Amino acid sequence: MIWEAIVKRKVLVFSLLFLLVTLPIVYLVFKYQPKAEAAWYDDNFAYRQRVDITNAGTAQTDFQVAITLNTSALVTAGKMQSLCQDIRVTNINGKILPYWTHLCNTTNTRIYFWADSLTNSSTIFYLYYGNPSAISSEIKTGTSDKPGISCKSILDHSDSTGDGTYYIDPNAGAKSDAFQAYCDMTTNSGGWSIVTAETGTG
C-alpha cells in the first residue's frame, strides 16, 4: 500500500510538472503563429498590398471608398505598368471589385473602388499589381450607378462624352449622395461644373 501511494504521488507530481512545462509552450505557439492570409487572386499578379478600411458608422454595401498610393515609385521600380493598367482590387474572398484611378503614375494616385460590403469596424481588401500583360479593367464613371467625384475627374478619366449632364458625388461613399450636374467638357480645357441660379416670386 505504501509503495502504491508513493507511485501515485510520483505520477501526480510528474503530471503537474508536465502541464506546467507544456501549457506555456502551447500558449506561445498559438499566440505567435502567423495569421492566415487570403488566397492569392491571380498568380499573374506579382504583388499585392493589404488594405484595411475602417468604418466608424453603420455597415454599408456598394460603398465607394478611396485610397492613396505612390504609383510613381512602383512604376519606377518596374513593379507596375506606367498607365496603372494592372491594378486590381478584391475583397478578402478574391472577388474583383469595380474601381477607377485618378492621377496615375504620381506620388498621390487616388484609387477609388466600390466595396461590396463594409462592416461597422474594419474590413480587409487587397490591391494587386505587377502584371505586365494585364489590360485595364477600370470602370466608366459619371453614370448613376458609378458617379464620378467631379466633372474634371470624369474628363481626366476619359469618360467624357462631351458637354452634358453627368452624375457626380464629391464625397464618394454611398451612391444615394450622387446628383446630376451639367459639365462643360470643352471650354478652357473642359471639366467645368455649371451651376445656375433661379429666382422666383412669392
| Per-residue pLDDT tens digits for 104-143 | 999 999 999 999 999 998 999 999 999 999 999 999 999 9
Nearest of 66, 97, 100 to residue 84 by alpha carbon: 100
Q: What total number of domains does the chain contain?
A: 2
Percentage with pLDDT > 70 across the chain: 78
Is 149 found in the same domain as 132?
no
Is 121 found in the same domain as 52?
yes
**Would residue 103 count as lying in a domain?**
yes
Could you tell me the three cell numbers for 61? Answer: 454595401
- For the whole model, what pTM was predicted? 0.74
**Would residue 113 count as lying in a domain?**
yes
**Average confidence score pLDDT of the chain:** 84
Rounded distance between C-alpha atoms, residue 141 and residue 138, angstroms: 9
Rounded distance between C-alpha atoms, residue 162 and residue 154, angstroms: 11
Helices (H), 33-141: 71-76
- pLDDT digits (tens), the chain, 202 positions: 554 555 456 545 455 445 454 544 434 434 444 445 679 999 999 999 999 999 988 999 999 999 999 999 999 999 999 999 999 999 999 999 999 999 999 999 999 999 999 999 899 999 999 999 999 999 999 999 999 999 999 999 888 999 999 999 988 888 888 999 999 999 999 999 886 545 555 5
For residues 133 and 168, is the Cβ–Cβ distance under 8 A?
no
Is 104 found in the same domain as 62?
yes
Is 134 found in the same domain as 44?
yes
Per-residue exposure over 107-128, b if at least 16 CB sit within 10 Å of its own CB, e if not: eebbbbbbbbebeeeebebbbb
In terms of residue numbers, what domain contains 123? Answer: 40-139
